[in-house]
Structure 1
Amino acid sequence: MSAKYQGGHILLYHGVFKSIPTGLESRLHNVDPVEFRKQIAWLRDQFDIVSLDDFIMAKSRRGLATITFDDAYADLFINTIPWLIEEKLPSTIFLNSNLIEGDVFWRDKVRLILSKGLEEAFLKYFAQEEWVHEIRPERFYKDSKKVDLNSRVVDLALDAFLTQNNLDYAVSQLSKVIATEDNLIDNPLVNYGNHSASHYVLASLAPDQQREEIMSCQGWLNKLKNRSTSAFAAPFGGTKDIDMNTFMFAKEAGCSAVLMSRQAVNRAQRKGPEAELPVFERYMAPPTQEELMMLSRELDRLA
């Protein structure tokens, strides 16, 4: 174990694209494959890299690190996960069952609108809708995922707007950037986890909708032949993105822990409200090894 680091570090990645797909150029969290390998080499030199389940069960997480991915972009299964397997390094991929089954990720639809400069056109198209006044064109990406906007409503609006603007083909291409079940790699070093069915802001949903998001993804995972973790990764992972219902439904689904994404590392064990599920912190890897080194040290100091 590293003597330099006091906390346990859970790294979070999304895309590891060498070339970002058309339509996703705006606001996609991506680390170039070359930089990714540099980061993991540095991580292995500084920490003991363990599986997420071993990290969660460890009596002390000091000097431990684990590698996670969200959203299951298809590129992961071409070079990234096979390379980690070659290096004998464990990883966990949190996926959204509806997206694996072919639905287009609603945040990728938002990126498509941004890439084409259609933010103001979208807001004008729905100008008569009360909810749309919560979204400012200059903050379209962040405002469209506000907790007081039902994500399912926003998703349906995105579909209507993109169809109206003859972008159905561009949307259909976005369905190819997320992995299918056939892409998933079956290996003891690879685990899959619940990231909800559609990656909506859970706290924005009615309780029955939120329950469906968590339970349906867990049901899909339970039928998967591949290895899975019982941890639940909250979509977006911010404090306001979930609520007490999230913990209640995650526990009902059989989940044993909730992972957040609040740019923090793990020291003392924390639990969520009422449901008493342990809570673990993750942080998104920056673009370069040098930035990761600085960020990791700073977060560890603040823990």
Structure 2
Amino acid sequence: MNFFPASFPRGGQAAKSAVLVLAGVAARARQRLAGQGSVLAFHGLRAEATPVGVQDSSLHLPVGTFRALCQHLAAHYHVMPLVEMATLLQAGQALPPRAVALSFDDGYASNYHLAYPLLREFHLPATIFLTTGFLDGTSPLWFQQVDLALSSQQPTASSASLGETLAELKALPDARMREKVQSWVKDLPPSPAPAVTQPLSWDQVREMQASGLIHFGGHTHTHPILARCTPEQQREEIFTCRRRILAELGQAPRIFAFPNGGSGDFTPETLALLAEAGFESAWTMVSGRATPASPCLSLPRYGAPESVWELEATVSGAFELLRQWKGGRA
């Protein structure tokens, strides 16, 4: 069975992934990691090569790349709903061979306009984690406001400059961070947000839900880093998000994804609140494979791969196996 495209990538992460695959590491990893699963975390998609008006173009994968990923996954992997994967893990059961789940964070309109048609074409289920204030139109995503402010004030600024600014803001208590963001954006001239940053509508969410192919989870109400919030703020973010999804979709979300998603971005209090709210599983952005031994309220996900080669090296477990070898644990 031929898993890979004929063209060999040149340079960067894609080339490293291709070397791992051709060396047979991916095949060996699949054997060693049977019964485990990989969850991929996407955000938005973009039709154009570079979105106009935003620095963080990497957050929005080119739709052509996503099509190639979908085609490869449909041909070679068992793509399952994330809720179903979580249920099996909680029951201590091994996952089906080559188990993969797809997720999207935040709730961008491109999930409907660009991703949904491809998911239907290839019959791939996916979960979208909704930042409910973003969809309601009451709370723009704060990191997008920073991006737009930086793009407006420093048109030649690089994505590295944005990354440094965001890293500084993410270290602040949530209230202080939002004060700083508002001080930057309050004097910006009114202008329409770039299309790539537009949110889903609730009607679009309901249409996708009715298909049975797309499921929805919680991602807070205003996208704070929960560990930077007071316990009261955390409760408000988690419970408001759950309440809004229930009101709009007629059923409460069972799964949750942490904004930012690092190991330091939530606390034991966060996990207790999620359990109190009725969430059965919660997903981080800590890289790793999901196993029956994984804590159900801090499960791992991989960031979105940017090529078929990187996809194969990630979901096969080749990267993971290589790290183990380097650490002397193979």
TM-score bin, normalised by smaller chain: 0.7 to 0.9
Q: Deviations over 1:51-109 (max 9, x none)?
A: 11111122112521111000111111012112212322211000111000012110101
Contact 1:269 1:278 in 2 (8 A): no
In the TM superposition, what is the alpha-carbon distance from 1:300 to its structure 2 partner? 4.3
**Are 2:216 and 1:192 equivalent residues in the alignment?**
yes
Q: Deviations over 1:258-277 (max 9, x none)?
A: 10111211234222xxxxx4
Give 3-state SS (helix, strand or coil) of 1:140's partner: helix
Distance 1:265 1:13 in 2: 16
Distance 2:151 2:286 in 1: 27
Selected match of 2:168 from 135, 140, 143: 143
Aligned counterpart, 1:60? 94
Aligned counterpart, 1:32? 62
Q: Residues 95-114 of structure 1: matches in 2 within 5 Å? A: 95-102=130-137, 103-114=139-150
Aligned counterpart, 2:127? 92
Q: Residues 181-220 of structure 1: matches in 2 within 5 Å? A: 181-184=202-205, 185-186=208-209, 187-220=211-244
Aligned residues: 277
Q: Give unpaired runs (5+ residues) of structure 2.
A: 1-26, 156-160, 325-330
**1:285 maps to amino acid:** A
Aligned counterpart, 2:42? 13
**1:258 maps to amino acid:** A
In the TM superposition, what is the alpha-carbon distance from 1:169 to its structure 2 partner? 2.3
Aligned counterpart, 1:252? 276
**1:110 maps to amino acid:** V
1:175 to 1:248, Cα distance in 2 relative to 1, 3 A:
farther
Aligned counterpart, 1:131? none
Give 3-state SS (helix, strand or coil) of 2:318's partner: helix
**Are 2:203 and 1:179 equivalent residues in the alignment?**
no
Contact 1:48 1:64 in 2 (8 A): yes
**1:144 maps to amino acid:** L
Contact 1:30 1:287 in 2 (8 A): no
Contact 1:162 1:168 in 2 (8 A): no
1:153 to 1:226, Cα distance in 2 relative to 1, 3 A:
same
Q: Percent identity?
A: 23
Q: Residues 44-59 of structure 1: matches in 2 within 5 Å? A: 44-58=74-88, 59=93
Distance 1:9 1:72 in 2: 21
Runs (4+) off by over 4 Å: 2-5, 172-176, 226-229
Q: Residues 275-294 of structure 1: matches in 2 within 5 Å? A: 277-294=296-313
Distance 2:253 2:64 in 1: 28
Distance 2:66 2:190 in 1: 33
Aligned counterpart, 2:52? 22
RMSD: 2.6
Q: Which has the higher contact order (CA 8 A, sep 6+)?
A: 2
**2:169 maps to amino acid:** S
Q: Deviations over 1:204-235 (max 9, x none)?
A: 01110111000000001111226664011111
**Are 2:102 and 1:71 equivalent residues in the alignment?**
no
Distance 2:57 2:47 in 1: 16
Distance 1:28 1:154 in 2: 23
**Are 2:263 and 1:235 equivalent residues in the alignment?**
no
Give 3-state SS (helix, strand or coil) of 1:113's partner: helix
1:188 to 1:236, Cα distance in 2 relative to 1, 3 A:
same
Contact 2:56 2:147 in 1 (8 A): yes
Q: Give unpaired runs (5+ residues) of structure 1.
A: 120-135, 272-276
Contact 1:10 1:67 in 2 (8 A): yes
Aligned counterpart, 2:318? 298
Distance 2:143 2:302 in 1: 19
Contact 2:45 2:196 in 1 (8 A): no
Give 3-state SS (helix, strand or coil) of 2:107's partner: coil
Contact 2:217 2:254 in 1 (8 A): yes
Contact 1:270 1:280 in 2 (8 A): yes
Bigger helix share: 2
Distance 1:33 1:80 in 2: 8
Distance 1:176 1:160 in 2: 21
**2:102 maps to amino acid:** I
**1:97 maps to amino acid:** T
Aligned counterpart, 2:182? 159
